[in-house]
Amino acid sequence: MKQKETMLNTMGINGLSASLEDLGDEHVGTSFETPLRDDAFKMDDELKVELIEKHFKEIMHILGLDLSDDSLKGTPHRVAKMYVKEVFAGLNPKNKPEPKLFENKYKYKEMLVEKDITFFSHCEHHFVPISGKAHVAYISNGNVIGLSKINRIVQYFSKRPQVQERLTMQIGNELKEVLGTEDVAVIMDAYHMCVSSRGINDTNSSTVTSFYSGKFESDEQSRNEFLKYLSLKK
C-alpha cells in the first residue's frame, strides 16, 4: 500500500512539474496584476541586495564556477544590485512615476502618438530579457501629459518579471487612469530571449500585442489612423 501511495505521489509531482514546464514554455500568464506577496516591500532594498547576493553566489558555486577569480568574485553583488535597483525596480510602487498633467489650452483634439519607445523587460518564466518597441496613442479629454512621462510609464511596468500581454494591458490601463480618458492605444513589438536563445532557438520572430480602448476600440477609422502613423517612414 505504501509503495502504491509513493508511486501516486511521485506521478503527481512529476505531472505537476511537467505542467509547470509547459506553462513556462508556452509563455502563459495567470493574472492581470503582477503576482506579488502582501509582504513584498517590508524588506528594504539593501537587505534584498544582501540576500540575493548570498543566494546567487551559491548558484554560481553549484554551477562549478571559481568565485575566487577576479572576473567572478564581484558578480553576485553586481547581479543582486542590478535585480533590485535596475531591471526589477518596477516591482516597487515607490518607483512609480507621478506624471504631471497640463491643461490642453491649445484645444488639440486629434490623437497624439508616441512611437518607437525602447523598452527592456524580463520573461517571468525564465528570467531572460525581452526587448522591443512600444507605440502609444491617446486623445486628450482636456489634459495632456509631458511626452517623456509616457516613456517613464512604459519603463516602469517593463522593469519587472513580465508576460508581454500583461505588460501591454498594464501600460494601457495606467495611461487611461493618469490621463482621465478612455481613448488610449498601445502596441508592443518585442523579441524574447526565451524563444531565441533556448527552446525553439528562433532568432527571427517577434511578438506583437495590442491594447485598444475608447475610440480606438469602437472606431475603426481612429484605429487605422494610429496604425498608419506607425508605418510612416522616418
pLDDT at 115 over 60: yes
Q: Which of 53, 124, 135, 162 is catalytic?
A: 124
Q: Which of 3-7, 159-163, 228-232 shows the lowest mean pLDDT across its residues?
A: 3-7
122 given a catalytic annotation: no
55 given a catalytic annotation: no
C-alpha distances in Å from residue 90, one per residue of 83, 119, 156, 167: 10, 12, 5, 11
pLDDT at 42 over 90: yes
126 given a catalytic annotation: yes
Angle at 30 between CA 28 and CA 33, to 5 degrees: 125
164 given a catalytic annotation: yes
Q: Which of 27, 122, 125, 135 is catalytic?
A: 125
pLDDT at 157 over 60: yes
Within 10 angstroms of residue 5's Cβ, the number of other Cβ atoms is 9
pLDDT digits (tens, 9 = 90+) for 9-27: 554 555 555 565 655 565 5
CA atoms within 13 A on the CB side of 27: 19
Percentage of the chain beyond pLDDT 90 is 73
Q: Mean of the per-residue pLDDT values for the chain?
A: 88
Cα–Cα distance, 127 to 191 (Å, whole number)? 14
C-alpha cell at position 159: 522593469
192 given a catalytic annotation: yes
pLDDT digits (tens, 9 = 90+) for 103-112: 988 889 899 9
Residue 199: pLDDT band with limits 50, 70, 90: low
Domain architecture of the chain: domains with CATH: 42-87 (1.10.286.10), 100-230 (3.30.1130.10)
Q: Which of 53, 126, 155, 162 is catalytic?
A: 126
pLDDT at 133 over 80: yes
221 given a catalytic annotation: no
pLDDT at 83 over 80: yes
Q: Which of 123, 162, 170, 174 is catalytic?
A: 123
Average pLDDT estimate for 128-148? 94
Query: Residue 159 burial (CB < 10 Å; 0-12/13-18/19+)?
Result: buried
